[in-house]
Amino acid sequence: MSKRIVIVGGDGAGMSAASQAKRRDPSLVITAFEKGPVVSYSACSIPYYVGNVAPSIQELIARTPEEFRSLGIGVRTGHEVMALDLPRQRVAVQGDGRIFWEDYDELVLATGAVPIVPPWPGVGAAGIFRSKLWRMATGSAGTSRRILPARRSWSGAAILDWKWPKTCAIGASRPL
């Protein structure tokens, strides 16, 4: 029987692992579970979308689930891995309105990281966004895009944080 690889998380790390593994051994049966609606998107480019430099959010997608399927890699978007059963080598998956077990021989955890939110007063107020995942770009940060060119401020001074004011300054002069 072919070896089964289950991948949890369908962005850069997960889908790179899937592609690399399939290239090395085409007989592998690979299934990637992604809880969001898309895979292989460029989180790095979210500031370009929100800042109105990239006009369409579709430009952020490197490869669609269909493209991965054509390479023989199974992709299940809208499917969240809820639990690991390590002794029995299976994961519990929620998707399509049900919960089911998926068996694996090898497991890749590529769930990324989540931002730490300091417990400051007012940190959950309307108009405060966290830049991270696709749903944030299309949801809260997408809202932020629509209110261009309203006044914005950022916290943090790492290289990623500087992308925000830069892209918004460029995009503010362009039509939405």
Ligand X SMILES: Cc1cc2nc3c(=O)[nH]c(=O)nc-3n(C[C@H](O)[C@H](O)[C@H](O)COP(=O)(O)OP(=O)(O)OC[C@H]3O[C@@H](n4cnc5c(N)ncnc54)[C@H](O)[C@@H]3O)c2cc1C
Residues with a known catalytic role: 44
Residues 6+ apart with CB under 8 A from 93: 33, 76, 79, 80, 81, 82, 99, 100, 101, 102
Span from 4-12, 51-59, 100-108, 168-176 in contact with ligand X (CB under 6 A): 4-12
- 8 contributes a contact to ligand X by CB under 6 A: yes
Is the CB of 26 or the CB of 103 nearer to ligand X?
103
Binding string, 16-55, against ligand X, x = CB under 6 A? Answer: -----------------xxxx------xx-xx--------
| Residue of 166, 172, 173 lying closest to 47 (CA atoms) | 166
Is the CB of 26 or the CB of 50 nearer to ligand X?
50
Among 5, 57, 133, 168, binds ligand X (CB under 6 A): 133
Rounded Cα–Cα distance for residues 130 and 38 (Å):
19
| C-alpha distance from residue 166 to each of 54, 66, 80, 144, 160 (Å) | 13, 34, 34, 15, 10
Q: Quote the least distance from Cβ 65 to ligand X, whole Å.
A: 12
Q: Which amino acid is at 126?
A: A
Using CB under 6 A as the criterion, which residues of the chain lie in contact with ligand X when the complex forms? 8-14, 33-36, 43-44, 46-47, 80-81, 110-112, 131-133, 160, 163
